[in-house]
Amino acid sequence: MTSDVVDLHAFYASGLGQVARRALRRRIRQMWPNIKGETVLGLGYATPFLGQFLGEAERVMALMPASQGVIHWPAQKPNLVALTDDTDLPLPDHSVDRVLLVHALEHSEHVRPLLREIWRVLAGGGRLLVVAPNRRGIWARFDRTPFGHGHPYSTGQLSRLLKDNLFVPLQTAGALFAPPLRLRMVWSSARALENIGQRLFPSFAGAVMIEASKQIYAVSAERPVRRRVLVALPQPAARGAGRNLKDRE
């Protein structure tokens, strides 16, 4: 089930959504402490986490898949979001330094083409940061949040998926250790629960996060040596050979 942009917007405007937003923003910033002068692309529903890069990155933009819908961002400012086919991004090759993929991979019906498109638009040395529901986390078990929809991943599954699509995993992290409950007591202690969970129970985070770099294969300039194999073909029988043989009999 794909989360609609209206539902995603409503969730992150709620109290529980604000808790999730702050937890994920902190972890994203820890993994990307410096993006000065770079081009950052948010793909999926990444706008709640892109605001921290405005004014620091050279350029920040967002693309939302057609199946999800689109909403204006940032509020009260010129729009930086466009609607797109997530398997045919409207960007030239090697045009982006960083891609933040949130609420996209778990809903995509074309995972490999999506990752190959991200590989295409990333510059050499570019980085991809994937945020997806954790299969082992409690958030994936409740459909009251966007992390309870779509296909969840374990850290190992997500790492293998990235490797199979020409990415090299660099670092992993987890977020959303507080239970997805609409209780102010949980919200007020969310930061402490995040710190405890990261130290003691990292595999039970609600969201798994993996940063990966674009893998580029070196192409040898030497041409491969071609070996020619000669195959001896049977010689055709001489004319009259059959007749001569019959005469001899």
Residue pLDDT, tens place only, 126-148: 999 999 999 999 999 998 899 99
The continuous run of DSSP H or E covering 65 comes out as: strand 59-65
pLDDT at res. 229? 45
Of 210, 180, 182, which Cα lies nearest the Cα of 193? 180
Residue pLDDT, tens place only, 181-226: 877 777 777 788 888 888 888 889 999 999 999 988 644 334 444 4
pLDDT at res. 71? 94
Torsion over CA: 202, 203, 207, 210 (sign):
positive
Instruction: State how far the Cα of 222 lies from the Cα of 153, in Å rounded to an integer.
Output: 41
DSSP string, 225-244: PPPP---PPPPPPPTTHHHH
Instruction: State how far the Cα of 178 lies from the Cα of 188, in Å rounded to an integer.
Output: 10
Residue labelled with tokens 């674009």 = 214
Instruction: State how far the Cα of 225 lies from the Cα of 210, in Å rounded to an integer.
Output: 41
Compute, in degrees rounded to 10, the torsion defined by CA atoms 79, 211, 101, 78: 0
Instruction: State how far the Cα of 214 lies from the Cα of 149, in Å rounded to an integer.
Output: 28
Note the pTM of the prediction, 2 decimals: 0.84
List Cβ neighbours of 5 (8 Å cut-off, separation of 6 or more).
45, 64, 68, 69, 70, 71
What are the residue ranges in the chain where pLDDT is below 70?
Answer: 1-2, 217-249
Does residue 179 come out as left (phi exceeding 0), alpha (psi in the -120 to 50 range) or beta? beta
Instruction: State how far the Cα of 54 lies from the Cα of 33, in Å rounded to an integer.
Output: 14
